[in-house]
Amino acid sequence: FDARELAAFSRFCSGSARLPTHSLKLTLPPPGSDENPDGFLPLSQTCFVSLALPRYSSADVCARKLRYAIENAYLMDADFLMRHNEGWDAIDT
């Protein structure tokens, strides 16, 4: 993964462009992914900075699924959204 992909991965797992204040937690594979893990995408829970990965058949499949998820997931980005709220302009960023 290059620097852009790592930043997107951080955003995918935490919902923020900034690095999270606590570590990423790996959780159990997504429900229902046991029979055909390669048919599932990674699942993140941004509130908990957690990532659930199916038990993919290979590291290559895992990397492809992660790249797809981080490039195509529509996420909330509190850093971006808050900048449009009243009072944000008074904060020096």
Catalytic residue among 3, 19, 47, 90: 47
The Cα 84–Cα 25 span in angstroms is 30
Q: Does residue 62 have an active-site annotation? A: no
Angle between helices 3-14 and 59-72 (to 10 degrees): 70
CA atoms within a 13 Å half-sphere pointing along the CA-CB vector of 78: 9
Q: Provide the pairing of β-strand 50-52 with 25-27.
A: parallel
Residues taking part in catalysis: 47
